[in-house]
Homo-oligomer: A and B are copies of this chain.
């Protein structure tokens, strides 16, 4: 059953961030085009599978984490409490070097991960594995400087330590410490993450191979940086998803944007729209509605997964609206009602920003600069990505400029095949091709052990959500089995090496 806190998590975030940005930044001089910043996470699985982790199996700990791993100023040594959770339930123990599955937190509270992710709990028994969830700095209960993300993010100095390189170093410290504490130095660690967390997992294997034996990077768009992937790719896939589902649905959506503008331009246009779309609070602008719909479509595509298949739901609503006298926007509204479920009214604007949105908005303005624009041939109004606008927006909002080249400088990304063909090992890049972020993912094997496992019908992070015995389609079951076989192979090879070494000594 869905917990209320998860329900609120089920909304895709792209539009929310855009709205939030518009809302909070309207007082200051903004660039004309509010940039579409990359947004990764959203819907976790609201229904827990039988196998998902029961909270009673989890122990919560706090690690005294170093604020700044990369400098040696007196203030670098400040400590904050970083939360992590451990389940010993299935672990076969240090004496047999039983493995450790470590989930590397992304832009949310670890509470959400524990409830929403299934891969570790579904498979720990089979591997006799310890389960660890580590919370990302500046989210949940792992916020430095007093613990209030909201306050910390307002402080230019305090938020400055909030980035991916520091987060990876946090994970390195926690995992090293944990191994020592458990005398489990010989236990192989497999790191797992999804979306931004998937990027972290693959980067962690690249940067800290001495700590993690391998990484499962689910839906990690590590190539959506610095021009490696075209900025338009994301919306191209969203459009493809809708068009493949229903040509008429795609056409209706494509025509709707100008229709919204046309109606909004009438004297009582916003009232008409508010009524048509059952807005809880009268719409302030046509943009608010358009952003809401944009976010709905992208979210539906990103999480277009069984058993519900949101794109099909939206399109069924749109295509099914054939009541006499209904116009194009009635169809759009019907799609929305179908997707969101029948309600008295809908919250189309003025969302209270979640910590995920607040934190992520900073991250995409500092190191995680994912350029997303809308090309000319989609079902959305064209809106090319503009780095200058993006930089100006971030500078205005945070006082510092993003570093769009940093990810490719520090982690790589250009010519990834040639670079990693003979370097690195043990990384699975898993993707579902209906996920618009798969366009920035690694979709082909790089070597025998740096491999891509994609499914045509899959969506964002689907493989690491809890398995549903009866409902999961065969291709999904197969994808997970392939991943498990690969991980098993890494671990077996590791044990082989370990035995050989023991024999030698």
Contacts and interface: CB of A to CB of B under 8 A. Distances in A.
Interface of A: 68-74, 76-77, 156-157, 159-163, 165-166, 169, 172-173, 176, 185, 206-211, 366-367, 399-401, 403, 405-406, 408-410, 412-426, 449, 493-494, 497-498, 501
Given A71-B160, A74-B399, A423 B420 contact: no
A411 to B, nearest CB: 8
Contacts of A416: 210
Contacts of A156: 73-74
B69 A71 contact: no
A70 B176 contact: no
A410 B160 contact: no
6 contacts: A69-B410, A71-B163, A176-B409, A418-B494, A422-B426, A422-B449
Determine how many copies of this chain the complex contains. Answer: 2
B173 A210 contact: no
Contact of A400 (B74, B406, B408): B74
B71 A71 contact: yes
B160 A497 contact: no
B424 A423 contact: yes
A156 B172 CA distance: 26
A259 to B, nearest CB: 42
A412 B71 contact: no
Given A71-B163, A421-B497, A497-B418, A400 B77 contact: yes
Given A166-B70, A173-B409, A210-B415, A76 B160 contact: yes
A72 B159 contact: yes
Contact of A72 (B77, B208, B400): B400
A162 B72 contact: yes
A425 B421 CA distance: 10
A166 to B, nearest CB: 6
Contact of A410 (B74, B169, B367, B449): B169
A207 B207 contact: yes
A417 B185 CA distance: 15
Nearest to A71: B160
B497 A210 contact: no
Contacts of A71: 68, 70-71, 160-161, 163, 166
Contacts of A422: 425-426, 449, 493
A345 B410 CA distance: 52
A160 B72 contact: yes
A406 B449 CA distance: 28
